């Protein structure tokens, strides 16, 4: 996360809303030989105090989990390269603008009988966004297949202790300079550049 406080101008509610909308992140814990990472879809509880997810039983994080350990779930958003030429002023350097939210807390195993409800919740969240497509439901699977699948995965939760977000959108530049970069980035290099440009135009 960028240390400049000007880029940390969203409150916890805004950062949680961003994470909830994205629903996908990189889970990281400390392992014996170094960091362990998993790319995971997740949902957030209504109060934003927990992230619910599941992991393949053979994942090294599961083997290291025990009864729980510190973890961070990093959720990335739009990002893009910023060329100094777009600013329209001298003595600027290249940089990268981006949005990222970190959810820190304790990763804990959940009882295996919680797994069905977590899977139903996860699929429902994203199937609802595909409307008017008829939502996929678990009962579309053949008898026995769900049970076989569930034996291979484990439910876990991240009990969220802190929320931090970096929204690096050129807030440290004058408006006209930031808007010049916003115009350039839309046809530049990065991910979800139209969304990044819109955020930069909106300002802090």
Model pLDDT for residues 159-175, shown as the tens digit of each residue:
999 999 999 999 999 99
Pairing of β 69-82 and β 34-41: unpaired
Asked which of 126-135, 137-146, 186-195 is least confident by mean pLDDT, the reply is 137-146
Model pLDDT for residues 61-87, shown as the tens digit of each residue:
999 999 999 999 999 999 999 999 999
* CATH at 154: 2.30.110.10
Residue 198 domain flag = no
Q: Can you give the residue range of the structural domain that contains 70?
A: 5-79+89-172
Residue 191 domain flag = no
CA distance 33 to 3: 28
Does residue 204 register a pLDDT over 60?
no
Residue 72 domain flag = yes
Q: Report pTM.
A: 0.94
Residue 124 domain flag = yes
Rounded average pLDDT over 7-36 = 96
CA distance 9 to 22: 19
Model pLDDT for residues 140-152, shown as the tens digit of each residue:
988 889 889 999 9
Total Cβ atoms within 10 A of residue 187: 9
């Amino acid at each position: 996360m960028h240390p400049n406080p000007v880029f940390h101008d969203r409150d916890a509610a805004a950062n949680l809303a961003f994470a909830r909308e994205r629903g996908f992140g990189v889970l990281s814990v400390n392992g014996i030989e170094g960091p362990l990472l998993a790319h995971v879809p997740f949902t957030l509880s209504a109060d934003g105090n927990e992230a619910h997810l599941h992991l393949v039983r053979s994942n090294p994080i599961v083997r290291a989990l025990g009864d729980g350990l510190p973890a961070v779930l990093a959720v990335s958003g739009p990002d893009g390269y910023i060329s100094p030429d777009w600013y329209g002023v001298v003595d600027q350097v290249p940089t990268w603008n981006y949005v990222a939210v970190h959810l820190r807390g304790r990763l804990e195993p959940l009882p295996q009988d919680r797994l069905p409800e977590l899977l139903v919740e996860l699929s429902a969240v994203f199937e609802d966004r595909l409307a008017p497509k008829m939502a996929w439901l678990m009962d579309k699977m053949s008898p026995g297949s769900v049970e076989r699948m569930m034996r291979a995965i484990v439910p876990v939760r991240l009990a969220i202790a802190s929320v931090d977000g970096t929204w690096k959108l050129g807030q440290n530049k004058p408006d006209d300079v930031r808007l010049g970069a916003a115009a350039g980035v839309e046809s530049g290099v990065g991910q979800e550049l139209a969304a990044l440009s819109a955020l930069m135009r909106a300002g802090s």
